Structure 1
Amino acid sequence: MKTTIKFAAAALTLAFTLSDVGAAVTADEAAKLQTTLTPLGAEKAGNKDGTIPAWEGVYTKVQPGFKPGDFRVDPFASEKPTLAITGKNVDQYAAKLSAATVALLKKYPGYRLDVFTTHRTGGAPSWVYDNTFKNATRAKSIDGGFGVEGAYGGIPFPIPKTGYEAIMNHRLAWTGETIQLPIRTIIVTPDGKRAMATEAEQTLMRPYYFKEGSLEKFDGITQYGRLITRAPASKAGEGILAYDGIDEAHPRAIWQYLVGQRRVRRAPSVSYDTPDSVTSGIGLFDEAFMLFGPIDHHELKLIGKKEMYIPYNNNRAGAAKIADLVGPQFLNPDLVRWELHRVWEVEANLIPGKRHVVAKRRYYLDEDTWQIIMIDGYDAQGQIWRGNYTLTLLAPDLPAVLGNIMWGTYNVQTGAYLLNEASNDMPSQVKAIPRLPSSYFGPEELANQGSR
């Protein structure tokens, strides 16, 4: 059976050229996944000057005595920075930095990037590699680029031809099957005041990555997500439930439970540029998890690949105290690790006739994991406005480098910023849990959890 995965509520009415709709690669192209490319499609070799090493496999060295929920140690804790980038030398390195990062370095004299030796720890289990190899020659981009058929259990387009394919790779990147974590959302106002906007429990389950599944059995639901708010008291009990990546018979669905109304309601407004209630409005809903919900108001263009300094392997930041990590203007440079990696760049431009407060975005996707690591967001006047980031957590137990936690947004123009999906100061960190029944992600259970 053919499975269609759709991430927009409806197909675009815009007429796309043939180059916008991808097709499966040839067997000869796919063969590179077993030679010069990694099993997920990255360049296996390092760069010419040796600052990016060759990929030698996903990092799987689990710390002694590790138990699910334990905070993961920094395996590179003894390393020292090889480079410090500041506002004084930023122009020398600007070509390998996001526009928002350059703006922050020039705005704040104390802001600094400590660059460390690059470790290409990203990857996935071997069975995900096997499925990715199959997807390479059978997956096809459909629905104007916002859907795919013929993909299951791996990266759909390890050798992408379009921006739509690259973004779909992010949508379906390996971040584990069923995971749960306690989270805090920390916001910092323009005047430097720090506050906890939300404390919650986040649960994600991804039927697309059921190991024993197959393309023929797959029903089209790529991910269930549930968030239950525990604090502050004014929001305790609120919940959001989302079904992503489904076929035409089951369009993307999202619900919200508001304690004051004591009912679960469909929530189509939890999307696009609606201010994110979880972040007290500093973030936008489609910035959540680096990309959340439909993005069909923008046309996507694959710019190509480049070398870039990005946050990577940030286990030290993941275990730090909030008071130490979240400063009055930016994250503490002493705790954030930056590395040089190759990234895919995808440009998103607002489609004429559509509306969105962010007129243009540039997404930067890590070549080893396909996850979006940084985003530049521009306003209608073409000025840099928003800088989205994820610190990335190295989780050898999954194994994976996780970019769907510890993410946030800098408002370059106002000075406000946030850190979301952070387990800092919480009793446990993100953990793999046994697979849950689908009823756990039902609207009725969302109401039950919220009313407790």
Structure 2
Amino acid sequence: MFYKPLLTTLIASLFIAPLAQAAVSADEAAKLKTTLTPLGAEKAASKDGSIPSWEGGLTKAPAGYKNGDPRPDMFPGEKPVLSINAKNMAQFDAKLTDGVKALMKKYPDFRIDVYPTHRTAAAPQYFYDNTFKNATKAKLVDNGLGVEGALGGIPFPLPKDAYEVILNHRLAFTGVNTQSPLRVWVMTSDGKRTMASGGTQTFRRVWNDPDLATGKFDGYYSLGKFTVSEPGSKSGEAILAHDGINASAPRGLWQYLVGQRRVRKAPSVGYDTPDAVTSGIGLFDEAFNLFGPIDKHELKLIGKKELYIPYNNNRAALAKVADLVTPNTLNPAQVRWELHRVWEVEATLAAGKRHVAAKRKYYIDEDSWQIILFDGWDAKGDLWRTNYTLTLTAPDIPALLGNFFWGGYDLQTGAYYLNMATNELPVQVKVLPTLQRSFFSPEELANEGTR
């Protein structure tokens, strides 16, 4: 976070909570129509051309594509331009996260294959138009944990503050009504692959609705439901989440447990509670790379940098499970990495708060505003976790999907998981007609459980 010190007594207070940020000027916002993309990324190529200019992203569905089909590799035949492993990682130190470097040191066979960069991220025109309006109106509220004056687009396309960047991630465009079958694959430290969970994930991203109007928006930007179908011992279980944009729309969490045959509130589905969906390898607030409140940490904006990150991984989503989920790490030959510009946000444990991750570093793609990688440190200061999303390119929506096909590594135990994987399933992420609010109600969750 960048502050201008005024008095000694003020300096300390600046880092306790974010300042109330004012919306940007009209002159600054005008850059969204010239030198910046409609969502605020740098439109121009990098100086050496390794990151190309943004030309609108991918917005046309592949020939013959049908809704729900597994999306094809958008760049078939491309070969890596670079491979980085423990032997040559020092040459690329500034462009690698601590977590990636830790994986290279821990596993000599791990590498990242870097392909030509393609800036495929896109969103509908109405989302761009709303983002332009938001730029001069949006303001932080609730100590930086909420926003007012924005609607239906990125609230802070020209961010000055870490809290603005995180809110941009929460409100990134990932479609409106989507549904996907999924499986959660776990790899233990002794090289055993198991399916921890399987089921269906349904989202209604209310914030992204083209018909959203001020009078219709009740403060809940995302509604999600995960219903479990396998293994048999968990079949019928479900989790329901209503995520609010600020304190006026408090978060709602419910869980249906087959053994109890009732819906109950689930306040433990958050923060550092081990995530049962991933057999406890992941934490609930690591889901989708950020799930739920972040108020136990203080955020600092480090700045923007060029980084090698997973990107455009449609080919990995088409791979056989056994070819992708391999001992120690995901199969390096299946995962595509590219060089992109990212925002770096550091989260450190706030005074008086408790969380098993004392520090985290988030890396947010400038084009899509989604967290692509993040690392976590324990209370001793040791690097403990590194999480990722492989990103799925979906020009039919159009969107770059970072809330599917994600997972994490426990660097201390050696276990890892891949969540929301559709590999070997006939349906991938399917676009649905408008889902009614009642579909995401606790009452409907109870009805489904008794059928």
Say whether residues 1:136 and 2:145 are aligned partners: no
Say whether residues 1:46 and 2:45 are aligned partners: yes
Listed as ranges, the matches of 1:257-296 within 5 Å are 257-296=256-295
Say whether residues 1:200 and 2:199 are aligned partners: yes
Secondary structure of the structure 2 residue equivalent to 1:190 = coil
Amino acid at match of 2:332: P
Q: Cα distance 1:445–1:18, how it changes in 2: closer, same or farther (>3 A)?
A: closer
Does the 8 A contact of 2:239 with 2:255 survive in 1?
Answer: yes
Shift of 1:68: 0.8
Secondary structure of the structure 2 residue equivalent to 1:300 = strand
Match of 2:226? 227
Say whether residues 1:65 and 2:64 are aligned partners: yes
Does the 8 A contact of 1:150 with 1:215 survive in 2?
Answer: no
Does the 8 A contact of 2:70 with 2:426 survive in 1?
Answer: no
State the distance in 1 between where 2:148 and 2:295 align: 18
Does the 8 A contact of 1:349 with 1:359 survive in 2?
Answer: yes
Secondary structure of the structure 1 residue equivalent to 2:102 = helix
Shift of 1:236: 0.7
Amino acid at match of 1:385: W
Q: Cα distance 1:246–1:345, how it changes in 2: closer, same or farther (>3 A)?
A: closer
State the distance in 1 between where 2:33 and 2:382 align: 43
Shift of 1:109: 1.2
Q: Cα distance 1:104–1:179, how it changes in 2: closer, same or farther (>3 A)?
A: same
Does the 8 A contact of 2:16 with 2:298 survive in 1?
Answer: no
Shift of 1:431: 1.2
Among the aligned pairs, what percent are the same residue?
A: 64
Does the 8 A contact of 1:99 with 1:376 survive in 2?
Answer: yes
What is the TM-score of this pair, normalised by structure 2? 0.95
State the distance in 2 between where 1:134 and 1:128 align: 10
Match of 1:6? none
Shift of 1:214: 2.2
Shift of 1:371: 0.1
State the distance in 2 between where 1:84 and 1:250 align: 46
Q: Cα distance 1:18–1:386, how it changes in 2: closer, same or farther (>3 A)?
A: closer
Q: Which runs of 4+ in 1 moved over 6 A?
A: 14-18
Amino acid at match of 1:71: P
Q: Structure 1, residues 157-215: CA drift from partner, whole Å, max 9, x if none?
A: 00011100000000000000000000100011111111000001000002212102223
Listed as ranges, the matches of 1:234-253 within 5 Å are 234-246=233-245, 248-253=247-252
Does the 8 A contact of 1:257 with 1:446 survive in 2?
Answer: yes
Amino acid at match of 1:39: P
State the distance in 2 between where 1:156 and 1:327 align: 40
Q: Structure 1, residues 60-106: CA drift from partner, whole Å, max 9, x if none?
A: 23111111110100111111000000111111112111101000011
State the distance in 2 between where 1:139 and 1:177 align: 22
Q: Cα distance 1:84–1:15, how it changes in 2: closer, same or farther (>3 A)?
A: closer
Shift of 1:15: 8.3
Mind listing any 5+ residue stretches in structure 1 that lack a counterpart? 1-13
Q: Cα distance 1:15–1:114, how it changes in 2: closer, same or farther (>3 A)?
A: closer
Say whether residues 1:309 and 2:308 are aligned partners: yes
Amino acid at match of 2:359: K
State the distance in 2 between where 1:92 and 1:450 align: 55
Amino acid at match of 1:287: E
Match of 1:26? 25
Match of 1:400? 399
Amino acid at match of 2:137: R
Shift of 1:228: 0.3
Match of 1:412? 411
Shift of 1:19: 5.2
Secondary structure of the structure 1 residue equivalent to 2:143 = helix
Shift of 1:218: 1.9
Match of 1:364? 363
State the distance in 2 between where 1:441 and 1:15 align: 39
Shift of 1:343: 0.1
Q: Structure 1, residues 409-436: CA drift from partner, whole Å, max 9, x if none?
A: 0111111000001111112000111011
What is the TM-score of this pair, normalised by structure 1? 0.95
Secondary structure of the structure 2 residue equivalent to 1:447 = helix
State the distance in 2 between where 1:200 and 1:20 align: 42
Match of 1:342? 341
State the distance in 2 between where 1:156 and 1:216 align: 18
Shift of 1:21: 2.6
Match of 2:388? 389
State the distance in 2 between where 1:102 and 1:250 align: 40
State the distance in 2 between where 1:86 and 1:451 align: 52
Q: Cα distance 1:230–1:374, how it changes in 2: closer, same or farther (>3 A)?
A: same
Shift of 1:247: 5.3
State the distance in 1 between where 2:106 and 2:25 align: 48
State the distance in 2 between where 1:420 and 1:410 align: 12
Shift of 1:123: 2.0
Match of 1:10? none
State the distance in 2 between where 1:20 and 1:289 align: 27
Does the 8 A contact of 1:388 with 1:409 survive in 2?
Answer: yes
Amino acid at match of 1:50: G
Shift of 1:249: 4.6
Match of 1:37? 36
Equivalent residue pairs, number:
439
Does the 8 A contact of 1:16 with 1:144 survive in 2?
Answer: no
Match of 2:351? 352
Shift of 1:448: 2.5
Secondary structure of the structure 2 residue equivalent to 1:305 = strand
Amino acid at match of 1:179: T
Secondary structure of the structure 2 residue equivalent to 1:92 = helix
Q: RMSD of aligned C-alpha atoms?
A: 1.3
Amino acid at match of 2:286: E
Match of 1:5? none
Q: Structure 1, residues 318-362: CA drift from partner, whole Å, max 9, x if none?
A: 111111100011001111000000000000000111000000000
Listed as ranges, the matches of 1:154-173 within 5 Å are 154-173=153-172
Listed as ranges, the matches of 1:3-152 within 5 Å are 20-152=19-151
Does the 8 A contact of 1:40 with 1:123 survive in 2?
Answer: no
Shift of 1:16: 6.5
Q: Cα distance 1:246–1:365, how it changes in 2: closer, same or farther (>3 A)?
A: closer
